[in-house]
Amino acid sequence: MGSVENKHLRLPLIDFSDLDPQNPATQKWAIARSQISQALEAHGCFEVIYDRVGPELRQELFGRVMPELFDLPLEAKQKNSSCFGKYTGYIGQIPGLAYESLRVDAAATVEGLQGFERLLWPQGNPRFCNTVWTYAKHMQELAKMVHRIVLESLGVEKYYDYHIQPKTSALRFSEYDVPLDQETKTGMFGHLDPNMLTIICQHKEGLEVQTKEGEWIHVVPLTNSFTVLIGEAFKVWTNGKFQPPIHRVNMIGDEKRYSVLFATRPSDDYLLEPLEELVDGDHPLLFKPLKYKDYITFRYSEEGRKCKNPLEGYCGVRSKVEA
């Protein structure tokens, strides 16, 4: 695949401003459903306008919360560990990248936030918790709407309660400093997300998404927009109908860049498998059932990191699944 940036390409932009999940039988809801289905088929992602996160909350996140978080000593940040591997808690000190990242599990719950707070600020930091909890709750509602609309577009809305209940979520805060490689301006290498859904809020440009043809779309954020990407777990669940996009970060300018990622994923005991309605003679079964936590353990193991396609290597039915 090539790596040419096409400055004329844009991700589909879908307006969620007036959508009411309590009243889905509207023309605007139907239009959004059609737009999302087309966007996921074409790109595996889209931009969404969502006004419930206002400029004040964004300024609090990017202007105070995140600089305060990343100014903590390295030994404090490294306490943010995970039993799933080195790339599922604190991430940093990667050769060639001026990048650090921390993850808050169950950020939309008081328990999850308080656990993170006690880890990094034993003396407490209620302002941090209040800001992050407010943001996470908004992202949780947005994620639920996206999941519901996608289920409707697939004709399997009957699974909504079953599908949404075993989901858990996390926030990932990322800081990109002045790139070490001034020629490539690389902030983060191209990669796929393993989870179900990722909602990205970036306060400065840098995110790029690769098309199926190998071109790169430069994502220009609006003051009220978010980027929604599906992950490998979503690919399993839809039996390959929707493909997760490769994405990366290329820095612009010589200032720090922050982003906040809200991700949904199956709970530890949830058995993830393709929906039976999406498997037939024209669409044969592509993936065996798996538990997400087991796949993550494999994906970040030495064996998994050697796989060109770790998802296929772990649970693929056929010898080759087109990525």
CA distance 318 to 240: 12
- Distance CA(121)–CA(111), nearest Å, equals 15
Cβ–Cβ < 8 Å for 88, 82: yes
| pLDDT value of position 84 | 59
250: β partners: 186
Note whether 310 and 301 are within 8 A (CB).
no
Go through the domains of the chain in sequence order and give each one's CATH number: 13-315 (2.60.120.330)
Give residue 147's pLDDT. 92
Please state the φ and ψ torsions of residue 62, each to the nearest 5 degrees.
-85, -25
* pLDDT tens string 9-67: 899 999 998 898 888 889 999 999 999 999 999 999 999 999 999 999 999 999 999 99
Residue 320 has pLDDT above 60, yes or no: no
Q: How far apart are CA 68 and CA 60, in angstroms?
A: 11
C-alpha span between 138 and 39 (Å, rounded) = 22
- Average pLDDT over the chain, rounded to whole? 90
Higher pLDDT, 320 or 93: 93
- What is the reported pLDDT for 6? 63
The per-residue pLDDT for range 207-259, each reduced to its tens digit, is: 999 999 999 999 999 999 999 999 999 999 999 999 999 999 998 878 899 99
Residue-wise pLDDT tens digits, 47-57: 999 999 999 99
Q: Does 309 have pLDDT greater than 90?
A: yes
- Cα 93 from Cα 98, distance rounded (Å): 8
Report the pLDDT value the prediction gives residue 195, as an integer from 0 to 100. 94
| Coil, helix or strand at residue 72 | coil
Q: What are the pLDDT digits (tens) for 153-184?
A: 999 988 887 777 667 899 999 999 987 777 77
For the chain, what percent of residues have pLDDT higher than 90?
Answer: 71
| Predicted pLDDT at 179 | 77
The 10s digit of each residue's pLDDT in 246-296 is 999 998 878 899 999 999 998 888 899 999 999 999 999 999 999 999 999
Assess whether pLDDT exceeds 50 at residue 319. no
Residue 321 has pLDDT above 50, yes or no: no
pLDDT for 14: 96
| pLDDT value for 118 | 93
- What the block records as the tokens of 158 is 């009957």
DSSP string, 92-133: E--TT--EEEEEEETTTSHHHHHHHHHHH-TT--HHHHHHHH
* pLDDT at residue 5 in the model: 62
Local structure of 199: helix, strand or coil: strand
